[in-house]
A and B are shown apart, each in its own frame.
Chain A
């Protein structure tokens, strides 16, 4: 082996750039896709098919919403632009936050960073690579949600011509880097200026601020007892800031509106503004971050290596007590999982954010509906609440509960050596999952039934079905997690995205859809027979069938999983 004497000089003259780094990533992506197609074509097709179903479902939903709004022209004139503005403002905020989270983990928290940065890769090339990756990872939801929304918009506006589609796709692509750049700078600033303790305090402060906002919203909403039209006018006035001309979301909304109305010049003007800002902010963000990147990287690594107090917080102390009903060995396993949950901000912050948003929605919903409980819209609201809650629970169990058994595979002592049967181990995992998910689902549902002033019998029905759904989802996640484990994988996200994770996700979505169908049937039946505070026999029978289905499904999955685990060679 011999080395070229000019190699170092060549590196200094022309170090590796972002294009070469991207090329290797594309190679990896090509390998991933061809592996997915050749190894398990059915799984690949099922995933693509499921995405197609979700996409078409969203499209039909948005078309229905736009058509409904257009039935009343006045409301449509106000509401449709408002829906758009809200959508893009929400996207602006969500993409900034999700970009910041993903950028932080990909810039500072991976072995890849250590490897590339110990090589002669210029920080700017590395930051560009991670910026582009982050944009792609964080923005697929915009595509999934946004494209059907825009197609539905075109469907609802027959005057929209062919080039409208070119415009809205261009707007989408150009909009994404704006929150992406903000997220990148945010991630860098957190690593550069905040140490671990400050970050922790920041998270706690954010949670407290969220709580204050919830309380304020409850008060401001309950203070208004006006008629629904007045309330709507006031509400629209209060949220008119979402249409501010300074917000990038407004440029997109106005540009798309102009495209629909065939005002090409105006649409081009807004597109130009969006493109210019996206490019400028991207370059600015990458230059700023790469300028002081290595010092931020040093701080991020130093913070991780520092002394870290793991003194028991009240929440962690609680973990040892909540499973009092389990035998000693199982109690220890469940408590271990609960402690891990409390110490993993990715898990609990996701639940806090999702259920915080859910709570905000719940306290606003009675005023928006303007209907009495169980009459007209009042019947639909509990149905929507249940659907939103169930899908959030399914997300949580698929992402965080499903990998639990696989992750224990690396600690052979637990699954292979501990003097507990596979069933007992699965029950421990189930107890943990059920405790966390029931706590949030129960409290959110109780809040919902109180806010909707539902009659007691209906409230009990709603809460019971929700808890049963929790049971089914947790049973699926634990049972399928044991039946289709990935013991060799250490990354929980990859376990969740694997074949078993996909099967569990599909099963969970099927369960939620079935339960939703049951709730829909209950609503439809009661609308037909006339509303009554008491539950009649068909309602009780449908509810009983749903509960049996959820409990039976969860238990069956657990039994199958335990049987497989007992025979498995780890």
Chain B
């Protein structure tokens, strides 16, 4: 089986600061993966490397079997990336933007219109889709960029803070959309600080701290390992405690290659 995302021993540093340290992570098709970590843990750097925007100094990243790197066009065709700050052209309407994205991904014209209508109805965008995006609120922008990411039905959807700015009804719609995609064999890779969302929808959760993957597994595995802790919040706080490790220190043992149990109590094995 070709993995959706296959990260092998990836290392990235900015000057003397190590952003990602020897990270290995394998995500199969049909999984909703939640990527957690405190600010500055290296989540966004990892995401940018998966998208081919940054290049690791060591290690490899494959998306649907395509090596991401200088010529990562084949991998990029398979994925969609929604950054935490949604990007839209101010002087285009939402519909014009979606049509542009459809053209970029070579979606047939008739299909583009059908998808826009379908998503417009589902995410309740009818009122504003034909207005210039400069007048949109954060939530409206988030809906449009999410729709743009779904235009070409990507194998892998990478999304940074998906629920920020969305109203509760849309949050529910987005959760359902993610679940539908996963059921269709697509992969959703979600970075978030909203632990409740991760707990509710993720198949597996990975926690990054100081550039190291300190925890990886399903919610029940996490609970099993951290016996005294019952919520993801408790587990997260324990694993990312500021005194636990520093940039210079050796830190806790990391989860190797997303599969082997590490010793240390709180680290969790992949199922």
Identity of the chain A residue whose Cβ is nearest the Cβ of B15 in the assembled complex: A306
B91 within 8 A of A: yes
Interface residues on B, range: 35 or more
Q: How far is the CA of A27 from the CA of B87 in the complex (A)?
A: 17
Contact residue among A8, A31, A117, A307 (Cβ-Cβ distance under 8 Å from B74): A8
Contacts of A29 in B (CB 8 A): 91
A457 within 8 A of B: no
Contact residue among B16, B78, B92, B108 (Cβ-Cβ distance under 8 Å from A24): B92
Q: Mark A291-335, 1 if CB is under 8 A from B, else 0.
A: 000110110011101110000000000000000000000000000
Contacts of B193 in A (CB 8 A): none
A72 within 8 A of B: no
CB distance from A38 to the nearest CB of B (A): 12
Assuming A118-B52, A306-B15, A307-B14, is B70 touching A7 (CB within 8 A)? no
B93 A31 Cβ-Cβ under 8 A: yes
Interface of A is mostly: helix
Q: Mark B48-89, 1 if CB is under 8 A from A, else 0.
A: 100111110000000000000010011011111101010101
CB distance from A39 to the nearest CB of B (A): 10
A266 within 8 A of B: no
> Which residues between 1 and 26 of chain A lie within 8 Å of chain B, taking CB atoms?
1-4, 7-8, 10-12, 14-16, 20, 24
Identity of the chain B residue whose Cβ is nearest the Cβ of A33 in the assembled complex: B91
B238 within 8 A of A: no
Assuming A4-B108, A306-B15, is B73 touching A122 (CB within 8 A)? yes
Most interface-central of B16, B19, B90, B93 (chain A CB within 10 A):
B90
* Interface 9-mer from A107-115, A178-186, A210-218: A107-115
Contacts of B90 in A (CB 8 A): 28
Contacts of A570 in B (CB 8 A): none
A20 B87 Cβ-Cβ under 8 A: no
CB distance from B20 to the nearest CB of A (A): 11
Identity of the chain A residue whose Cβ is nearest the Cβ of B135 in the assembled complex: A488
A302 B78 Cβ-Cβ under 8 A: no
* Interface 9-mer from B3-11, B96-104, B255-263: B96-104
B105 A7 Cβ-Cβ under 8 A: yes
> Which residues between 80 and 102 of chain A lie within 8 Å of chain B, taking CB atoms?
none
Contacts of B106 in A (CB 8 A): 7, 10-11, 14, 16
Identity of the chain B residue whose Cβ is nearest the Cβ of A31 in the assembled complex: B91
Q: How far is the CA of A8 from the CA of B77 in the complex (A)?
A: 6
CB distance from B101 to the nearest CB of A (A): 8
B153 A2 Cβ-Cβ under 8 A: yes
CB distance from B248 to the nearest CB of A (A): 13
Q: How far is the CA of A115 from the CA of B15 in the complex (A)?
A: 25
Q: How far is the CA of A31 from the CA of B108 in the complex (A)?
A: 25
Q: How far is the CA of A15 from the CA of B76 in the complex (A)?
A: 11
Q: Mark B13-28, 1 if CB is under 8 A from A, else 0.
A: 0111101000000000
Q: How far is the CA of A120 from the CA of B79 in the complex (A)?
A: 9
16 cross-chain CB contacts under 8 A: A1-B153, A7-B107, A8-B74, A8-B78, A11-B77, A12-B77, A24-B96, A27-B100, A28-B92, A117-B52, A119-B104, A120-B76, A122-B73, A295-B70, A297-B53, A305-B14
